[in-house]
Amino acid sequence: MALSGVEIFKLLPKTNCKKCGHPTCLAFAMKLAQRQASLDSCPDVSEEAKKILGEASAPPVRPITFGAGDKAVKMGEETVLFRHDKKFVNPCAFAIEVKDTLSEAEVSGLCEQVVSSEIDRVGQKLRIDSIMITNASGDAAKLEAAAKIVAAKAPAVPVIINTENPQAAEAAIKLFADKRPVLYGANASNAEAMAAIAKNNKAILGVVANGLEELSALTEKVKGLGVEDMVIDSGARKAKDIIEHNTLIRRAAVKKNFKPLGYPVINFMQREDSLHEMLLAGVGITKYASIIVLSSIEKWKNLVLFTLRQNIYTDPQVPMQVEQKIYNIGEPKPESPFLITTNFSLTYFIVSGEIENSKVPCRLAVMDCEGLSVLTAWAAGKFTASKIAQFITESGIEKEIATKELILPGYVAILSGSIEDKLPGWKVTVGPREANALPAFLKTRTA
Amino acid sequence: MLIIGEKLSIIAKRVREAMMKKDKGPIQEIATRQWKEGSGMIDANIGPAEDGGEDLMQWMVTTIQEVVPLPICLDTTNASALEAGLKVHNNEWGRPLINSTSNDPERFPILELAAKYNSQVIGLTVGKGGLPADAEERAGIAAEIMARAMEYGVPLEDIYLDPLVLQIATSQDHAVKVIEAIKMFQEMNDPPMKTVVGLSNISNGCPKHVRPILNKYYFLMLMNAGLTSAIADAHEMAEALNEKKLLDDVLAGKEIDDAAKMKEIKKTLDVIMGNTLYAHSYLEM
Amino acid sequence: MAFTPTKETYAGKVYAVTIGTGDRAVTFGGENVLPFHSFEGTTPNRPLIAFEIQDVPPSDWPENAQKAFEGVSDDPVKWAKYCQDELKARAIALRLVGTHPDRENRSPEDAVKTVKDVLAAVSIPVIILGSNHAEKDTSILVAVAEAAKDRNCIIGKAQEANYKTIAAAAMANNHKLIAMSELDINLSKQLNILITQMGFDKERVITDPMCSALGYGLEYTYSVMERIRLAALTQNDVTMQQPLLGDVGMYVWKVKETTASEADLPQWGSAEERGIAWEAETATALLISGAELLIMRHPKAVAAVEKIIEELI
Ligand code: SF4
Model ipTM?
0.97
Distance from CA of A6 to the nearest CA of B (A): 6
Q: Are A103 and A167 members of one domain?
A: yes
Name the percent of chain A lying above pLDDT 90: 72
Taking 90 as the threshold, does the pLDDT of residue A377 lie above it? no
Q: Are A245 and A336 members of one domain?
A: no
Asked, as a colleague might, if the bond just before B39 is cis with ω within 30 of 0, I would say no
Greatest C-alpha distance within chain C = 71
pLDDT at A405: 94
Q: Which domains does chain B have, with CATH numbers?
A: 2-284 (3.20.20.20)
pLDDT band at B49 (very low <50, low <70, confident <90, very high): confident
Taking 60 as the threshold, does the pLDDT of residue C48 lie above it? yes
pLDDT at A447: 59
Interface test with B, best of A317, A374, A415 (most B CBs within 10 A): A317
* DSSP notation for C36-71: T-TTSS---S--EEEEEEESS--TTS-HHHHGGGTT
Taking 80 as the threshold, does the pLDDT of residue A54 lie above it? no
- Over residues B230-247, the pLDDT tens digits come to 999 999 999 999 999 999
In a domain, A143, yes or no: yes
Contact predicate C55/C98, CB 8 Å: yes
- Over residues C76-91, the pLDDT tens digits come to 999 999 999 999 999 9
Q: How far is the CA of B115 from the centre of ligand 1 (A)?
A: 26
Q: Across residues B258-271, what is the average pLDDT? A: 95
Chain B residues with CB inside 8 Å of C231's CB?
A: 277
pLDDT band at B129 (very low <50, low <70, confident <90, very high): low
User: Can you tell me the distance from the alpha carbon of C181 to that of C189, in angstroms, rounded to the nearest whole number?
Assistant: 9
- Helices and strands (H, E) in chain A, number of each type: 16, 17
Residue A391 CB less than 6 A away from ligand 1: no
Contact predicate C304/A283, CB 8 Å: no
Distance from CA of B41 to the nearest CA of A (A): 22
User: Can you tell me the distance from the alpha carbon of B46 to that of C171, in angstroms, rounded to the nearest whole number?
Assistant: 51
> Which stretch, C15-19, C180-184, C217-221, has highest mean pLDDT?
C15-19
In a domain, A320, yes or no: no
pLDDT band at A322 (very low <50, low <70, confident <90, very high): confident
pLDDT at B27: 97
Chain A residues with CB inside 8 Å of B146's CB?
A: 24, 26-27
- Over residues A156-194, the pLDDT tens digits come to 999 999 999 999 999 999 999 989 999 999 999 999 999
Closest chain C residue to the Cα of B167, Cα to Cα: C186
User: Can you tell me the distance from the alpha carbon of C238 to that of A11, in angstroms, rounded to the nearest whole number?
Assistant: 47
Name the percent of chain B lying above pLDDT 70: 99
Least confident range from A368-372, B107-111, C6-10: namely A368-372
- Over residues C69-78, the pLDDT tens digits come to 999 999 999 9
Tell which of A260, A291, A312 closes a domain.
A312
Q: Phi and psi of C107, rounded to 5°?
A: -90, 165
Contact predicate B42/B30, CB 8 Å: no
Chain A interface includes B132 (CB < 8 A): yes
Chains that contact A by 3+ CB pairs under 8 Å?
A: B, C
pLDDT at A38: 82
Taking 70 as the threshold, does the pLDDT of residue A108 lie above it? yes
pTM here is 0.91
Which whole-number Å values give the CA distances from A345 to A340, B19, C247, in the listed order? 14, 34, 20
Q: How far is the CA of A14 from the centre of ligand 1 (A)?
A: 7
In a domain, A318, yes or no: no
Name the DSSP class of A331.
-
In a domain, A317, yes or no: no
Contact predicate A156/A70, CB 8 Å: yes
Nearest residue to A233 (alpha-carbon basis) of A129, A225, C310, A222: A222
User: Can you tell me the distance from the alpha carbon of C164 to that of C251, in angstroms, rounded to the nearest whole number?
Assistant: 26
Structural domain total, chain A: 3
pLDDT at C183: 87
Q: C46-312 domain in CATH 3.20.20.20?
A: yes
Cα B161–Cα B163–Cα B166 angle in degrees, nearest 5? 150
- Over residues A344-365, the pLDDT tens digits come to 877 888 888 888 878 899 999 9
Q: Are A408 and A282 members of one domain?
A: no
Chain A interface includes B47 (CB < 8 A): yes
Q: Across residues B181-192, what is the average pLDDT? A: 95
Mean pLDDT, all residues of chain C? 96
Chain C residues with CB inside 8 Å of A239's CB?
A: 36, 308, 311-312
Contact predicate C262/C216, CB 8 Å: no
Q: Are A263 and A395 members of one domain?
A: no
Residue A46 CB less than 6 A away from ligand 1: no
Q: Across residues A249-254, what is the average pLDDT? A: 96
pLDDT at A430: 94
Q: What type of residue is C195?
A: I
Query: Taking CB atoms and an 8 Å limit, are C193 and B172 in contact across chains?
Result: no
Q: Across residues C40-66, what is the average pLDDT? A: 96
Q: Across residues C101-108, what is the average pLDDT? A: 92
- Over residues A275-319, the pLDDT tens digits come to 999 999 999 999 999 999 999 999 999 999 999 999 999 988 776
| CATH number, domain containing residue A51 | 1.10.15.40
Contact predicate B167/B205, CB 8 Å: yes
User: Can you tell me the distance from the alpha carbon of C301 to that of C313, in angstroms, rounded to the nearest whole number?
Assistant: 18
Q: Are A105 and A81 members of one domain?
A: yes
pLDDT at A356: 83
Residue A13 CB less than 6 A away from ligand 1: yes
In a domain, A146, yes or no: yes
Tell which of A40, A57, A74 closes a domain.
A57
| CATH number, domain containing residue A168 | 3.20.20.20
- Over residues A32-45, the pLDDT tens digits come to 888 778 888 899 99
In a domain, A319, yes or no: no
Residue A21 CB less than 6 A away from ligand 1: no
Q: Are A346 and A243 members of one domain?
A: no
pLDDT band at A56 (very low <50, low <70, confident <90, very high): low
pLDDT band at B117 (very low <50, low <70, confident <90, very high): very high
Q: How far is the CA of A21 from the centre of ligand 1 (A)?
A: 8
Tell which of A57, A72, A101 closes a domain.
A57
User: Can you tell me the distance from the alpha carbon of B234 to that of B26, in angstroms, rounded to the nearest whole number?
Assistant: 17
Query: Taking CB atoms and an 8 Å limit, are C186 and B280 in contact across chains?
Result: yes
Distance from CA of C149 to the nearest CA of A (A): 31
Residue A53 CB less than 6 A away from ligand 1: no
pLDDT at A358: 84
Nearest residue to C246 (alpha-carbon basis) of C231, C226, C232, C272: C226
Nearest residue to B155 (alpha-carbon basis) of B118, B192, B126, B187: B118
Range of the structural domain that residue A25 is part of: 5-57
Exposure class string for C270-291: b at 16+ Cβ within 10 A, else e: ebbbbbbbbbbbbbbbbbbbbb
Nearest to A370 among B128, B134, B137 (CB): B128
pLDDT band at B70 (very low <50, low <70, confident <90, very high): very high
Name the percent of chain A lying above pLDDT 70: 98
Q: Are A96 and A200 members of one domain?
A: yes
Q: Are A273 and A408 members of one domain?
A: no
pLDDT at A124: 83
More confident residue, A412 or C51: C51
The closest residue, in CA terms, to atom 8 on ligand 1 is A25
